[in-house]
């Protein structure tokens, strides 16, 4: 009887302890980002540096380009998009497989660039007749 | 030289040259038209990594006597180049990148049409009034809006004597990659800054079938635009404001 109680307690303990890590770590609630690099091997900096500093690189580049007119810098949002846009949808946004959106939705950081910038590679807009 | 020349502009210049040598070129005013062709490329593209130079001042000269009534080619070219294609519920919200205006002399009914856009003032009132520093003038005289800092207050729209600025009222998804634009920011003619930096001329100038627009460096006495301004009477619109606009008009 004592043995049975011990087994029951152990089972209860196991059931009480196990669900939490299984639920959180198994990817049920928050899917891990899918980082698929469509054109690998050509980035302007190593992946570790890009992960940590890409926003700083873009921020300083955008000011130099717009305010001083310096073109052709290594860091550029359009250059990012040319390499990282999904081959299927042509965009860096749109779903969990798309390069920018994938990580940004995982870390819950709002992505404001594309309120103005075009997320699709080689996109050609049409004009409207006046 | 044996490779076929794929640049249509060069082919056109060659054809124009052949026209001069042969027949049929007298139909267009020869001197003026050739000057317009010569300005089809600005000075060479600025090398990567160099900033816009204060020695240069980009400008436009628009010959209103050549501007054809009813023609909207410059507007169409501007809207295609800059991805201006949103449909708006209210016409009063329309973009003001470039529009055509008609002048009528009431005494004799003489009508003149001309394109009106940001005049790229040397002393721009829009820059003076901007509370965030988003409205700015580049070293080479091009007046721009830094959308990264624009808060959409529209003070610059009120300050501009030319009604050359407009606010984007709707969310956009079809921008050209080189011309970012979006809801909540003020915008205006950029003098096609992305093309100028590559050594090209603005889309409106390139599209004008009458050769009524010349683009170039006002500070370079040998440029087509500076030569024309030095030789024929041209005016700045509302020159009484003494803003020293980079866009000048001939025949108004």
Summarize pLDDT for B66-117 with one digit per residue, the tens: 999 999 999 999 999 999 988 888 989 999 999 999 999 999 999 999 999 9
- β-pair partners for B135: B145
Is the pLDDT assigned to residue B35 strictly greater than 80?
Answer: no
Average pLDDT of the segment spanning B33-47: 58
Chain A interface disruption, residue of B180, B181, B194, B203, most A CBs within 10 A = B180
Q: Is the interface score ipTM higher than 0.90?
A: no
Is the pLDDT assigned to residue B18 strictly greater than 70?
Answer: no
| Residue B19: predicted pLDDT | 39
Is the pLDDT assigned to residue A16 strictly greater than 60?
Answer: no
Q: What is the pLDDT of residues B130-177, one digit of tens each?
A: 999 999 999 999 999 999 999 999 999 999 999 999 999 999 999 999
Residues in A closer than 8 angstroms to B47, CB to CB, are 72
What CA–CA distance (Å, rounded) separates B103 from B248?
Answer: 16
Is the pLDDT assigned to residue B27 strictly greater than 50?
Answer: no
Is the pLDDT assigned to residue B28 strictly greater than 50?
Answer: no
Of residues A69, A81, A129, nearest to B52 (C-beta): A69
Token pair for residue A42? 């050509």
With cut-offs at 50, 70 and 90, classify the pLDDT of residue A88: confident
| Residue A3: predicted pLDDT | 58
| Residue A40: predicted pLDDT | 75
Domain limits, CATH 3.30.70.20, in chain B: 52-250
What CA–CA distance (Å, rounded) separates B14 from B67?
Answer: 26
Average pLDDT of the segment spanning A106-126: 91
What CA–CA distance (Å, rounded) separates B37 from B127?
Answer: 34
Put simply, the answer to whether B84 touches A128 (Cβ < 8 Å) is yes
Token pair for residue B62? 């628009």
| Residue B22: predicted pLDDT | 35
Of residues A69, A121, A122, nearest to B51 (C-beta): A69
Average pLDDT of the segment spanning B229-247: 96
Average pLDDT of the segment spanning A25-50: 78
CATH code for residues B52-250: 3.30.70.20
Describe chain A by its helix, strand, coil percentages, rounded to 5. 50, 0, 50
DSSP string, B139-196: TTS-EEE-TTT-----HHHHH-TT---EE--S-----BTTB---TT-EE---TTHHHH
Average pLDDT of the segment spanning A112-116: 93
| Residue B60: predicted pLDDT | 96
Average pLDDT score over chain A: 80
Average pLDDT of the segment spanning A94-100: 85
Give this prediction's pTM.
Answer: 0.79
Average pLDDT score over chain B: 86
Put simply, the answer to whether B76 touches A129 (Cβ < 8 Å) is yes
Which one is predicted more confidently, A31 or A59? A59
Average pLDDT of the segment spanning A53-77: 93
The whole-angstrom distance between A88's CA and the closest CA on chain B is 18
The whole-angstrom distance between B32's CA and the closest CA on chain A is 29
């Amino acid at each position: 009887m004592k043995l049975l109680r011990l087994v029951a307690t152990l089972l209860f303990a196991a059931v009480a302890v196990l669900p939490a890590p299984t639920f959180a770590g198994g990817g049920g609630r928050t899917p891990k980002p899918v980082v698929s690099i469509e054109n690998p091997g050509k980035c302007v900096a190593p992946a570790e540096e890009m992960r940590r500093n890409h926003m700083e690189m873009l921020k300083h580049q955008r000011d130099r380009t717009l305010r001083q007119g310096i073109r052709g810098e290594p860091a550029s949002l359009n250059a990012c998009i040319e390499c990282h846009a999904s081959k299927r949808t042509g965009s860096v946004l749109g779903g969990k497989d798309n390069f920018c959106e994938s990580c940004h939705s995982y870390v819950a950081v709002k992505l404001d660039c594309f309120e103005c910038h075009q997320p699709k590679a080689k996109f050609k807009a049409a004009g409207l007749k006046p | 030289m044996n490779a076929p020349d794929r640049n249509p502009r060069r082919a056109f210049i060659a054809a124009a040259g052949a026209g001069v040598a042969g027949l049929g070129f007298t139909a267009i005013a020869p001197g003026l038209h050739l000057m317009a062709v010569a300005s089809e490329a600005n000075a060479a593209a600025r090398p990567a990594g160099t900033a816009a130079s204060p020695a240069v001042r980009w400008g436009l000269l628009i010959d209103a006597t050549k501007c054809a009534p009813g023609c909207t080619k410059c507007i169409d070219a501007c809207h295609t180049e800059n991805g201006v294609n949103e449909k708006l519920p209210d016409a009063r919200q329309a973009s003001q990148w470039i529009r055509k205006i008609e002048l009528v002399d009431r005494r004799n009914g003489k009508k003149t049409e001309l394109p009106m856009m940001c005049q790229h003032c040397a002393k721009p009132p829009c820059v003076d009034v901007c509370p965030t520093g988003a409205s700015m003038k580049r070293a080479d005289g091009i007046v721009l809006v830094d959308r990264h800092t624009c808060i959409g207050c529209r003070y610059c729209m009120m300050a501009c004597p030319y009604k050359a600025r407009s606010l984007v009222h709707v969310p956009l998804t079809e921008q050209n990659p080189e011309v970012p634009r979006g809801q909540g920011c003020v915008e205006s003619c950029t003098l096609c800054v992305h093309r100028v930096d590559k050594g090209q001329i603005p889309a409106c100038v390139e599209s004008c079938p009458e050769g009524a627009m010349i683009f170039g460096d006002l500070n370079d006495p040998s440029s087509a635009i500076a030569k024309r301004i030095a030789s024929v009477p041209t005016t700045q619109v509302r020159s009484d404001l003494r803003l020293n606009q980079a866009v000048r008009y001939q025949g108004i």
